[in-house]
Structure 1
Amino acid sequence: MLRKLLVPVAALALLAGGVTVAEAAPGQSDNLARSATATASYTSPWESIAAVNDGIDPATSNDTANRRWGTWPNTGEQWVLLTWSAAQSLRAADVYFFDDNGGVRIPASWRLQSWNGSSYVDVVGASGYPTAVNQYNAVNFTPVSTSRLRLVLQSGAASVGVLELRAYTTAIGTGGGGTTGWTPPANLVAPLNQVWQHVESTYSNLYGFRNYGWDQVFANRGSINYCVRWDSSAPVSAALRDQIHASLARQFKKWMDVMAGHNGWPYQSVPLKVVGWAVRDRATLQWSDSSVDVYVNNIRENAPQCSEPCGRFFNQSGNYPNCPGGASHHYDMSLWLTAGMNGGAGGDWGQRVGSEYFVGALNSDNIHILLHEIGHSFGLDDFYDWTPTGVGGFLMKAGSASQITEFDAWMLRDWWRHLKDRYGY
Structure 2
Amino acid sequence: MRRWWMAAVPALILGLLMSPADAAAAAPGDGNLAVNATATASYTSPWESIAAIKDDIDPAQSNDTVNPRWGTWPQTGAQWAELTWAQPQALRSAQVYFFDDNGGVRVPASWRLQYWNGSAYADVTGASGYPTAVNAYNRVTFTGVTTTRLRVLLQSGAGSVGLLEVKVYATESPGEGGGGTGWSPPANLVTPLNQVWQHVESTYNPGPSAFRNYGWDQVMANGGSINYCVRWDSSAPVSATLRDQIHASLARQFKKWMDVMAGHNGWPYANVPVKVVGWAVRDRATLQWSDSSVDVYVNDIRENAPQCAQPCGRFFNQNGQYPNCPGGLARHYDMSLWLTAGMSGGAGGDWGQRIGSEYYVNNLNADNIHILLHEMGHSFGLDDFYDWTPTGVGGFLMKAGSASQITEFDKWMFRDWWRHLKSRYGL
Offset from partner CA, 1:114-140 (integer Å, 9 cap, x none): xxxxxxxxxxxxxxxxxxxxxxxxxxx
2:418 pairs, out of 416, 419, 424, with 416
Contact 2:179–2:261, Cα closer than 8 Å, also in 1? no
Which amino acid in 2 is paired with 1:189?
Answer: V
2:230 aligned with 1:237, yes or no?
A: no
Measure the CA separation in 2 of the matches of 1:332 and 1:213: 8
Structure-1 residue corresponding to 2:290: 288
Number of positions where the alignment pairs a residue of Structure 1 with one of Structure 2: 255
Contact 1:178–1:266, Cα closer than 8 Å, also in 2? no
Give the CA deviation at 1:2.
4.3
Structure-1 residue corresponding to 2:322: 320
Offset from partner CA, 1:300-329 (integer Å, 9 cap, x none): 000001100000000000000000111100
Contact 2:191–2:391, Cα closer than 8 Å, also in 1? yes
Structure-2 residue corresponding to 1:157: none
Measure the CA separation in 1 of the matches of 2:277 and 2:347: 21
Which amino acid in 1 is paired with 2:184?
Answer: T
Give the CA deviation at 1:5.
6.8
Structure-1 residue corresponding to 2:4: 4
Which amino acid in 1 is paired with 2:223?
Answer: R
Offset from partner CA, 1:206-260 (integer Å, 9 cap, x none): 2211100000001101000000000000000000000000000000000000000
Contact 1:225–1:331, Cα closer than 8 Å, also in 2? yes
Measure the CA separation in 2 of the matches of 1:262 and 1:300: 39
Moved over 2 A (4+): none
Give the CA deviation at 1:178.
8.1
Contact 2:2–2:375, Cα closer than 8 Å, also in 1? no
- Specify the SS of the correspondent of 2:339: strand
- Specify the SS of the correspondent of 1:261: coil
Q: Where do 5+ consecutive residues of structure 2 fail to align? A: 7-177
Structure-1 residue corresponding to 2:374: 372
2:181 aligned with 1:184, yes or no?
A: no
Measure the CA separation in 1 of the matches of 2:406 and 2:241: 28
Contact 1:227–1:306, Cα closer than 8 Å, also in 2? yes
1:309 pairs, out of 308, 311, 315, with 311
Structure-2 residue corresponding to 1:274: 276
Contact 1:280–1:298, Cα closer than 8 Å, also in 2? yes
Offset from partner CA, 1:7-40 (integer Å, 9 cap, x none): xxxxxxxxxxxxxxxxxxxxxxxxxxxxxxxxxx
Measure the CA separation in 2 of the matches of 1:394 and 1:195: 13
Give the CA deviation at 1:421.
1.0
Give the CA deviation at 1:4.
1.1
Structure-1 residue corresponding to 2:406: 404
1:247 pairs, out of 225, 246, 249, with 249
Which amino acid in 2 is paired with 1:4?
Answer: W
Which amino acid in 2 is paired with 1:195?
Answer: V
Measure the CA separation in 1 of the matches of 2:347 and 2:282: 21
Contact 1:5–1:376, Cα closer than 8 Å, also in 2? no
Offset from partner CA, 1:73-123 (integer Å, 9 cap, x none): xxxxxxxxxxxxxxxxxxxxxxxxxxxxxxxxxxxxxxxxxxxxxxxxxxx
Measure the CA separation in 1 of the matches of 2:343 and 2:376: 17
Give the CA deviation at 1:350.
0.1
TM-score by length of 2: 0.59
Measure the CA separation in 2 of the matches of 1:305 and 1:388: 37
- Specify the SS of the correspondent of 2:354: strand
Structure with the larger RCO, 1 or 2 (CA within 8 Å, 6+ apart): 1
2:299 aligned with 1:297, yes or no?
A: yes
Contact 1:229–1:277, Cα closer than 8 Å, also in 2? yes
Measure the CA separation in 2 of the matches of 1:351 and 1:368: 12
Offset from partner CA, 1:394-420 (integer Å, 9 cap, x none): 000000000000000000000011111
Contact 1:5–1:379, Cα closer than 8 Å, also in 2? no
Q: 1:201 to 1:277 in 2, by over 3 A?
A: same
Measure the CA separation in 1 of the matches of 2:375 and 2:327: 29
Measure the CA separation in 1 of the matches of 2:323 and 2:354: 27
Give the CA deviation at 1:205.
3.3
Contact 2:2–2:378, Cα closer than 8 Å, also in 1? no
Which amino acid in 1 is paired with 2:190?
Answer: V
Offset from partner CA, 1:261-290 (integer Å, 9 cap, x none): 001100001000000000000000000000
Measure the CA separation in 2 of the matches of 1:216 and 1:290: 25
Which structure's CA Rg is the greater one? 2
Q: 1:223 to 1:382 in 2, by over 3 A?
A: same
Measure the CA separation in 2 of the matches of 1:336 and 1:179: 34
Measure the CA separation in 2 of the matches of 1:402 and 1:5: 26
Structure-2 residue corresponding to 1:212: 214
Measure the CA separation in 2 of the matches of 1:2 and 1:236: 28
Which amino acid in 2 is paired with 1:3?
Answer: R
Contact 1:394–1:408, Cα closer than 8 Å, also in 2? yes
Q: Where do 5+ consecutive residues of structure 1 fail to align? A: 7-176
Measure the CA separation in 1 of the matches of 2:303 and 2:180: 44
2:343 pairs, out of 341, 355, 365, with 341
